[in-house]
Amino acid sequence: MPTIPTTPAHADLQGKSTRKAVCVVYTGGTIGMIGAAFGASGYRPAPGDLEARLTALPELSAPEMPRVVFRELSPLLDSAELAPRDWERIGREIAAHDAACDGFVVLHGTDTMAYTASALSFMLEGLAKPVILTGSQLPFAHLRSDARDNLITALLLAAHTPLCEVGIYFRGVLLRGNRARKVSSSGFGAFASPNAPPLATVGVEVALHPAARRTPYLAGPLRLQRLADVQVGALRLFPGIDQRFLHNVLQEPLQGLVLETYGSGNAPRDPGFLRVLARATERGVVIVNCTQCFSGGVDMESYATGQALRDAGLTSGADLTPEAALTKLVYLFSKGHTPEEVRALITTDLRGELTPRSGRVT
């Protein structure tokens, strides 16, 4: 279990080490890639390269920095290539080092970071420590890279903040992982949280929001929920969508679908379209109604079009992000819940992923 060398730990009055330990799980992504963006092969991951660069960082010798335990997954992956089995790989590393570390930093590509953060928030039952996902828009080796600041701040947040959940840190803002969405493919502020305040803003001081002070979801030691071979998907409505297309999407063995609808949860009131949805929900497919809008949520009571979806058996996704809705479906089905139980739990706030009906953000 390699560690990045640092200066000796400080000691308290009883002679015990007071230096925190943070496990860094490197999965791949832009942060550790090498090569020219417009070269023959473009940016590519290089095993061992990022660890060597971190080892050379003088900032890690600062007394407030934690001792770093570095874990590099193999193979390293562009985040566009990640699948649920990779969420499990990351979760296993966290569970394996939970007893020895005070927090975790997961280095990850930005493209599917919101999916991984959402999935981990559900899978890590009883999490009592910070798990901070971060990465960069330019590789660490690039002259103007945002990697260094993101990494150093994520390490400090993982070591010194009283978080009991999964977050995403980028460019001065720490977001709840299951509330975050990627909003820019080129700007350094790559993520936002449209329906919930940041967990913390980082400037001269680290300002924690009251929403950051959550207690662990389940008491006791950390438990990793393994993921079953669950068949779920996502579909974004578009004008002119054909009922035959929808019928094909909803065929067995599909168990759950995130349907991204218009506005506050609206869709065409075409009888054939609604009949296809109703037949699927009747045979046990859980269809979660999420809005295509960047902010706001679903209200299937306000409009006749939304009420028609409710009558067809769709479940309101409230203000869930599509990423959180999909990973929550995977998690709930993996736990062995029936479709009826999944429908009830989708609308239940488990990890701060949705705003309770009272309107209070937890």
* Residue 110 labeled ligand binder: yes
* Residue 302 labeled ligand binder: no
CB 322 within 8 A of CB 258: yes
* CA atoms within 13 Å, Cβ hemisphere of 133: 34
3-state helix, strand, coil in the chain (%, to 5): 30, 20, 50
Task: Report helix angle 271-282 to 304-311, nearest 10.
Answer: 40
Tokens 């701060």: give the residue. Answer: 352
Q: Which residues contact 287 (CB under 8 A, 6 or more apart)?
A: 256, 257, 259, 277, 280, 281, 313, 314, 315
Comparing CA positions, the residue from 96, 98, 99, 80 lying closest to residue 88 is: 96
CA distance 335 to 228: 8
CB 168 within 8 A of CB 183: no
Tokens 């960082």: give the residue. Answer: 57
Distances (CA, A) of 258 to 194, 234, 265: 19, 5, 12
CB 22 within 8 A of CB 102: yes
Provide the token pair at 20. Answer: 């925190």
CA distance 28 to 191: 18
Does the active-site annotation cover 30? yes
Burial (0-12, 13-18, 19+ Cβ within 10 Å), 116: buried
Q: Which residues contact 20 (CB under 8 A, 6 or more apart)?
A: 66, 67, 102, 103, 159, 160
Comparing CA positions, the residue from 26, 328, 27 lying closest to residue 178 is: 328
**From the candidates 110, 112, 291, 315, which is the catalytic residue?**
110
* Residue 111 labeled ligand binder: yes
**From the candidates 3, 7, 18, 30, which is the catalytic residue?**
30
Does the active-site annotation cover 201? no
Amino acid at 303: Y
Q: What are the binding residues?
A: 79, 110-111
Active-site residues, by number, are 30, 110
Q: What are the binding residues for substrate?
A: 79, 110-111
